[in-house]
Chain A
Amino acid sequence: MSFLEVRNLSARVKGGGPLLRDVFLTVEVGEVRGLVGESGAGKSMIGKAILGILPKAVEITGGQIVLDGTDLLTLPPAVRRMKVGATCALIPQDPLTALNPSRRIGAQITDRLVDILGWTRQRAEERALALLGEVQITNPARVLRQYPHELSGGMRQRILIASAFAAEPKLIVADEPTTALDVTVQKQILKLIAALQARHGTALLFVTHDLGVVSKVCQNLSVLYAGKVVEDSAVADFFRAPKHPYSAALLAATPKYTDPFAGLQPVPEAVIAAVRAEVEHG
């Protein structure tokens, strides 16, 4: 059985239309799965549903989120929180807002290791020091004593990555972890995540709207359109022969790294109409 199985998950805005429609998605132990789709497709909602941080306005209307054999949706909130806290982690989208401005970096990495996971303070601090080294921060001892506003966006994202790996989670959800960064920094951060994932063998659900990124770091991918998974493929197969017309159109609309402006095709209206009809009625 997969480490994570999202089965037929449906969600909607309270009193509104559906956000997720029968979402089916698996992540094996150690697998890197891309979750792609255009902005507003519901990619972040899936990540939030797994981690238990859905906005109050959103309610789950059906399905299961099976993590390590247990359906999270059936657990009491406190138990679920502990289970997710111990086995999963989030690399957030915007490193500028994801660190608490009034607390030192060190405390933000170590506190939960001590508070939630019961580590000794010394062990947590040694771990933080080692991890900052792993994400290639020079002078980690100094950085641990600094406040977020003293550090650049790239540095902060490195810290958040280190923090995500700190407790050796089984699964990390990375929600567009490079979108908010400078283009030059994006590549470094991407490499770093890939390297740490490989070294620690952590399963990764990599949310992005960038197929180029997927081709670099992921083994498999799920394509989301309007809250529905329309394709689930191995990355190599997907780029050779996408199964779904919408995927093919999406691929044609993605710039190639070798020649960014060659033969770009916007997703045709007819394809959008077809996939919309399929998602909403199929």
Chain B
Amino acid sequence: MALLQTLLLRVITTAVTLLGVAVIVFFVIRVVPGNPIAMMLPPGATAEDIANLTARYGLDKSIPEQFFIWGGGVLRGDFGTSITLKQPVLALVLGRLPATLELSVLALGMAILIGGAAALTGTRLRETRVEGGIDIAQGMALSVPDFLWGLVLILVFGVLVPVFQISGRVTPSLELPFVTDFYLVESVLRLRFDLTLDLLSHMLLPALALAIPLAAIIGQLLKQSLKETMHLDYVTLARTQGYSEAKVIWSQALPNAILPTLTLVGVQFTFLIGGTVIIERLFSYEGLGNMAIDAVINRDLPLIQGIVILFAVIFTGVNLLVDLTYAALNPRLRHG
């Protein structure tokens, strides 16, 4: 019963949030200077041409009027048509979403792996030079933002020692047998590991750029809570039972210490997804973020709206997922 109530409340707040985002974006991009119609027409178009095209996209109506027309369409699943690409926004956006999701999740996985390993190693070797070294590395990772890490990685692994791809999602000359846009997932499912490898060699550097700062945050917080947990009585009791230090950390301390980190990862993951906008641009990766920048440059209003709404849906979805996972992992919440 309590669960149902919480869930219902969650759905309502999510709906209100999305509506708020929709309103703000809709009005803001119409108030800022820049005219999408003017950008579409060749120089020397007549005033009549401009008026015609403006009317075709409904941009001659008042902004509230435009909002209700667009909002009505959205409720029916019609997000309008991209002004520059002349295709339905929904199809365009959903077509790019998988590329961005794969990149973000890969980056998240790398961040958890690197940050987790750093935290566990730091805890096992606490109060030694190794822990000091890990702390310094994490401090460095945090003092540089993801896009600068992107540039550094391009320089080192793309130019100096060119072992990874630095542009695009997949080698263009390859024959792709995919029916969905989840290339990475599908390549694995089809056992086409040659393609998996090619995709990964394109994704690795942008994913790493996104992962480095998050890995440092995870590493710091997790190590701190692990070290605090290591003093607790039940950990000491496990030691008397014959468990090795590594086993004590892994099976006694970690399940409890991980909870605060998990909440943080949820919040930070939404930042990471936000970071894909610039990183995708930097690596010419054909995802949603890259499309967003094009849409903004071209003042493609319907496309911008669609992308922003989709980002908002992803963010709220991630937050919901984190809360559910937290509840599942924490028995004190599970049993009320």
Contact = CB atoms under 8 A, between A and B. Distances in A.
A85 B242 contact: yes
A97 interface: yes
Given A53-B236, A97-B234, A102 B242 contact: no
Contact of A85 (B127, B234, B236, B240): B240
Contact of A97 (B232, B239, B240, B247): B232
A66 B238 CA distance: 22
Contact of B331 (A86, A102, A117): A102
B51 interface: no
A198 interface: no
Contacts, number: 73
Interface stretch (A5-13, A67-75, A76-84): A76-84
Contacts of A150: 335
A56 interface: yes
Nearest to B229: A100
Contacts of A89: 240-241
A129 to B, nearest CB: 19
Contacts of A53: 236, 239-240
Chain B interface size band reads 20 to 34
Most A Cβ at <10 Å: residue of B232, B243, B331: B331
Contacts of A214: none
Contact of B241 (A85, A94, A149): A85
Given A81-B244, A112-B242, A149-B332, A94 B233 contact: yes
B124 to A, nearest CB: 13
Contacts of B330: 102
Given A56-B127, A81-B242, A116-B242, A90 B331 contact: no
Interface in B322-336: 329-332, 335
The binding surface of chain B is classed by DSSP as helix
Interface string B210-238: 00000000000000000000001110111
A93 B127 CA distance: 28
A92 B239 CA distance: 13
Contacts of B240: 51-53, 84-85, 88-90
A65 B182 CA distance: 63
Nearest to B247: A115
B329 to A, nearest CB: 7
A62 B255 CA distance: 38
A6 to B, nearest CB: 16
A185 interface: no
22 contacts: A53-B239, A81-B243, A81-B244, A84-B242, A85-B241, A89-B241, A92-B233, A92-B236, A93-B233, A97-B232, A100-B252, A100-B255, A101-B256, A101-B332, A102-B256, A102-B329, A112-B238, A112-B241, A116-B242, A147-B335, A149-B331, A150-B335
Given A51-B240, A84-B242, A86-B242, 20 more contacts: A51-B239, A78-B244, A81-B242, A81-B244, A85-B241, A85-B242, A88-B240, A89-B240, A92-B233, A92-B236, A98-B234, A100-B234, A101-B234, A102-B256, A102-B329, A108-B234, A111-B251, A116-B243, A149-B332, A160-B237
